[in-house]
Amino acid sequence: MQIYPCPFCGPRDETEFSFAGEAGNDRPEPAEKISDERWAQYLYTQDNPRGNSHEIWVHLTCDEVFVMERDTVTHEVIGTKSLRKEEAK
Ligand SMILES: [Zn+2]
């Protein structure tokens, strides 16, 4: 069992979180002009780096969406950052 830090709630059990994708994999726009190949790349292709990784996670208890920086080899959580707009100012 791991403990992940929610930027809003603090440390919580990993079972309360859901992986939502790699950070930086922005939705291509405008949707009507995107090729099938680009959509497939957006939906199904991930870098899956070994080591330092930036991922989007959701804390299911409070619905906080945030970026978690963690090491995919050691599973060490390096840090988290909220994606709420008021936090980005
Ligand atoms: Zn939370």
Q: Could you please report the per-residue DSSP string of 46-84?
A: ----SSEEEEEEEETTTTEEEEEEEETTT--EEEEEE--
- For position 41, what pLDDT does the model report? 93
Query: Cα(26) to centroid of ligand 1, in Å?
Result: 23
Mean pLDDT for each 10-residue chunk of the chain (89 residues)?
95 97 91 94 90 97 96 95 74
User: Cβ(51)–Cβ(73) under 8 Å?
Assistant: yes
Query: Cα(21) to centroid of ligand 1, in Å?
Result: 18
Query: Cα(8) to centroid of ligand 1, in Å?
Result: 5
Domain total for the chain? 1
- For position 2, what pLDDT does the model report? 93
- For position 29, what pLDDT does the model report? 93
Query: Cα(17) to centroid of ligand 1, in Å?
Result: 9
User: What CATH number did the domain enclosing 44 receive?
Assistant: 3.30.2270.10
Please tell me the pTM assigned to this model.
Answer: 0.82
31: left (phi over 0), alpha (psi -120 to 50) or beta: alpha
- For position 28, what pLDDT does the model report? 93
Residue 42 lies in domain: 3-88
Q: What is the largest CA-CA distance in the chain?
A: 44
